[in-house]
Structure 1
Amino acid sequence: MDFKGRTADLDLLDGQLNQVVTRTGATLGRAVIVTGRRRVGKSRLVQEFSDRSGLPYFVFQATRGRNPAGERADFLDALARSPLPGAELVAGISVADWNQALRTLAIALPDDRASIVVIDEVPWLVEQDSEFEGALQTVWDRHLSAKPVLLLLVGSDISVMEALQSHGRPFFGRATKMTVAPLNLADVQTMTELPAAAAVDALLITGGFPEIVQSWRPGMSRPEFLRDATTNPLSPLLVAGELTLLGEFPEASRSRAVLEAIGTGDRTFGTIAAAAGSSGTLPSGTLTPLLNTLQAKRIVATDLPLSTKSDSKNKRYRIADSYLRFWLAFLQRGIPLIERGRGDLALERIERSWTTWRGRAVEPVIREALLRLLPDDRWPETEAVGGWWNRQNNPELDLIGADREPVAGAVHFVGSIKWLEDRPFDRHDYDALARGVLAVPGTEFDTPLVAVSRSGVQGELPLASCWGPEDLLRAWQ
């Protein structure tokens, strides 16, 4: 399958490799920690990068739960079969630990030209053998960094990968970090060949995960795509969600219950605790560490009201990527129907709630797009975009533009999102927005009002700015 998108990611890796090729870094070797959500395309990206480089490279992918001795044996076997110039020198070697295994890698690397080494699923190696990190640090300092090699350490457990370079850990200060995000709106639009508004729908459903986006045939409408997916139990749209969760949580756990509560619409600590408890409300002492872990893994995100007044306890929780949110809301319950040939019922459930679900799911995408468009000439000091709500969610305002977050020094605008196919932002929407403005700490009677609308604005409403689907797309182009 053709490799599409990821131009910026490939350019970042090319920049690191160029320092190795030109020998302009502090050491001959360069190390990069490559992380990102599971199934976001990290392995495919580094494989494509290695293939395009034209240089000798070695790729090793760890296996979860493997015996450390067996893992090292596989590492040496793959090394001996690799196209590295010194591969034949290490054939038949046996080692007792990772220190010896990584020193053997150094033997196989060339001295006179650049090469690439990829070690994939590093968290599983750390999990298997507590000595792996120390061995990596020792061999990097003494042997690998003296070779013209680009070492890519790849892993999906973001909390573990970030810990690798934290102060006090063996590999601290020896690598730069690169996060591989899902495909952005412009990439999704290019691959699906859809108009801007429809491409936003495609992004919300697929989350920008490459294998799902690639299953969306160019020009296919949202109903057509969902109809195809809900008639095929093996479609990537259905399968990827369960595989993602199994990769993060291989066994049934309370974390899964918490995720399912958030994914089906519970946003506050109290409602999540009530929904996730198997027999009564989940205690705070249990739920708090679960939420902290899910946030550390970047699976759950939190939002705080943005204004000039701190409100750090008024959090709202959401699933960080829209695909998993869509899967938890609609597809998890629909899979049994689809497997017995009643995908039509699953599709009906989606269609009944689609507009409501999309109205909430599109908000983080819009805020992120505005952050890429701002500051601009109209809003030269706006560097934070969020929302605002009180404890009762009355009012709840979709857009707050400010100079900083989490507590603003000044509120620059207040706005509303109306993402409907059959109605523009109208006088009724404007009046509701105007009534809610003064509830936001830091606003005045003349605070500018803005809107984001899928279907434009009705009449001559006194809005300071209005953005539409094409503007969101432009933010990523």
Structure 2
Amino acid sequence: MLIVFNKFVNRENELQHLNSAYLSDRSEFIVIFGRRRIGKTELLRRFIKEKRAVYFLADERGDSANLSEFRTLVADRLGNEILGQSTIDWLDTLKEAANTEERLVIAIDEYPFLINGNKAIPSIFQKAWDLYLKDSNVMLILCGSSISMMERHVLGSKSPLYGRRTGQIKVEPLKFKLTGAFFPEFKVEELVKIYAITDGVPYYLKEAEHRIKKINQLEMLYSIESLLLEEAEVLLKSEFREPAKYFSILTAIAFGNTKFGDIVNYTGLSSSIVSQYVSNLSVLNIVEARYPVTEKTHRSRNARYYITDNYFTFWFRFIYPNKSLIYGDFKIPQFNPDFNRYLGVVFEKIAAEFLWQARPIEFTKIGRWWHKKEEIDLIALNDATKEVLFIECKWRTLSTAESLRNLEKLKKKADFVKWNKGERVEYYGLVARKVEGKESLREKGFVVFDLDDF
């Protein structure tokens, strides 16, 4: 089901999770987290609509101002004038809220700002939960954008609140297939180009919707008028005190240096520094280590590192090295051919998502594979049935003859894959921008898709 109202798109699972908690017969403590601009606030607002709720958006004014506003909101919802005129602290305000007989939602957005103003906040909320809220009719929601703060002060084992949450929701980017909800008039090929810049971040998709009416206006997305020009820098500086080394590592990865040694060589940083900084980026889900999909045991020497977000990848590949040119109103050199090559990488991600939906075989895992100099774009496999589908991805138009040549090369590369060799059932296929003679290839037993199938 697709929810499209004022461009609130497809958060049905998250809403269902929240509504189930709301209807439970116990107190609930839900943690919602995810990167900025992902749609957490809109999710909260949709959830509490027509419910008895207190929605409080914390800010950086400081503890006294935040407490005063929160206390006023609670008093208004409870109809308690005395509470509204009082000067009681956080603990006693939450105690008053816990006295409610009817179901009451208390949703605190940007919770990390409360901690910035008062380091005792996690302990205060832990005490409030243990003494008053856990046996009440309150549904407490703590929501935050600072992943590091939420990990450290709410989700982490050293947090006073650890072990008390009854549920959590990580709000993820939208899938590629939902991009069309923002651009119903655009062709699939054009949607790929937009997704390569915005990823599935709703706020960025809305920015794109506002800025471009035709695909030849793509550069408007990173013009000096667009929030996307500075957004990555703002986000990273909010997480890291000294971002320079992080920027260097992310630039290396964005330019295709995905092996650990290649990152070290590109940045000129020591192995120990790169290791620590990559670890920090992984905790925040900005960078992830990937391994050949057939590996059951992950060996660090086989790891390759990727930026998880298309927007960050695009920003470090195209914007960050060219900011002076962009501010000077100059074109990015060689943008079109470089962007087209970059689309090939993005297309692999989209192809994997599509295959999960299309299910040409009943696979349980899908991903890249590599061994020494050999690489296969996607392998979909099923450990139980020993079925495996080898896929080549091509961001271009393939003639029937080119497709057959690519499939022959794919068969040769598949011979290097040791997974269940001699016992497995093999299938071969292509996912391309356009495949000519697609039906004739399917008749030969190949799995073939192009954008027309999307």
TM-score after normalising by structure 1: 0.82
Counterpart pick for 2:239 among 233, 248, 268: 248
Q: Which residue of 2 aligns with 1:420?
A: 396
Counterpart CA distance in 1 for 2:134 and 2:314 is 44
Taking a change above 3 Å as real, the CA distance of residues 139 and 423 of structure 1, as seen in their structure-2 partners, is farther
Taking a change above 3 Å as real, the CA distance of residues 349 and 148 of structure 1, as seen in their structure-2 partners, is farther
Q: Which residue of 1 aligns with 2:90?
A: 101
Secondary structure of the residue aligned to 1:153 is strand
| Equivalent runs, 1:354-369 vs 2, <5 Å | 354-369=339-354
Counterpart pick for 1:317 among 305, 318, 327: 305
Q: Which residue of 2 aligns with 1:287?
A: 274
Which letter does structure 1 place at the counterpart of 2:226?
Answer: S
Counterpart CA distance in 2 for 1:114 and 1:336 is 54
| Equivalent runs, 1:393-432 vs 2, <5 Å | 394-403=373-382, 410=386, 412-420=388-396, 426-432=403-409
1:428-456 CA-to-partner distances (Å, cap 9, x unmatched) read: 21222122110111245972212212212
Contact 2:388 2:427 in 1 (8 A): yes
Taking a change above 3 Å as real, the CA distance of residues 401 and 252 of structure 1, as seen in their structure-2 partners, is closer
1:286-326 CA-to-partner distances (Å, cap 9, x unmatched) read: 21121111111000022111226756221111110111101
Which letter does structure 2 place at the counterpart of 1:467?
Answer: F
Counterpart CA distance in 2 for 1:165 and 1:242 is 25
Q: Shift of residue 409 of structure 1?
A: 8.9
Counterpart pick for 1:466 among 444, 448, 453: 448
Q: Which residue of 1 aligns with 2:263?
A: 272
Q: Which residue of 2 aligns with 1:58?
A: 55
Q: Which residue of 1 aligns with 2:71?
A: 79
| Equivalent runs, 1:211-360 vs 2, <5 Å | 211-217=203-209, 220-224=213-217, 226-230=218-222, 232-277=223-268, 282-307=269-294, 310=297, 312=299, 313-342=301-330, 345-346=331-332, 348-360=333-345
Taking a change above 3 Å as real, the CA distance of residues 88 and 204 of structure 1, as seen in their structure-2 partners, is farther
Counterpart CA distance in 2 for 1:322 and 1:40 is 13
Secondary structure of the residue aligned to 2:391 is strand
In angstroms, what is the RMSD of aligned CA positions?
Answer: 3.0
Q: Shift of residue 39 of structure 1?
A: 2.1
Counterpart CA distance in 2 for 1:306 and 1:174 is 33
Secondary structure of the residue aligned to 2:302 is coil
TM-score after normalising by structure 2: 0.86
Unaligned runs of 5+ in 2: none
1:181-217 CA-to-partner distances (Å, cap 9, x unmatched) read: 1122232111111233322322221112222211333
Contact 1:399 1:415 in 2 (8 A): yes
| Equivalent runs, 1:29-178 vs 2, <5 Å | 29-50=27-48, 52-63=49-60, 70-81=62-73, 83-86=76-79, 88-94=81-87, 100-108=89-97, 111-126=100-115, 129-162=118-151, 164-167=154-157, 169-171=159-161, 172-178=163-169
Contact 1:122 1:153 in 2 (8 A): yes
Q: Shift of residue 364 of structure 1?
A: 2.5
Q: Which residue of 1 aligns with 2:365?
A: 384
Counterpart CA distance in 1 for 2:399 and 2:234 is 38
1:449-470 CA-to-partner distances (Å, cap 9, x unmatched) read: 1221221254633443223335
2:445 matched to 1:454? Answer: no
Q: Which residue of 2 aligns with 1:13?
A: 15
Counterpart CA distance in 2 for 1:409 and 1:160 is 43
Q: Shift of residue 157 of structure 1?
A: 3.2
Q: Which residue of 1 aligns with 2:189?
A: 197
Number of aligned residue pairs: give it. 439
Contact 1:61 1:120 in 2 (8 A): yes
Q: Shift of residue 168 of structure 1?
A: 5.9
Q: Percent identity?
A: 23
Which letter does structure 1 place at the counterpart of 2:199?
Answer: G
Which letter does structure 1 place at the counterpart of 2:302?
Answer: N
Unaligned runs of 5+ in 1: 473-477
Taking a change above 3 Å as real, the CA distance of residues 426 and 252 of structure 1, as seen in their structure-2 partners, is same
Counterpart CA distance in 1 for 2:5 and 2:110 is 24
Taking a change above 3 Å as real, the CA distance of residues 18 and 429 of structure 1, as seen in their structure-2 partners, is closer
Q: Which residue of 2 aligns with 1:475?
A: none
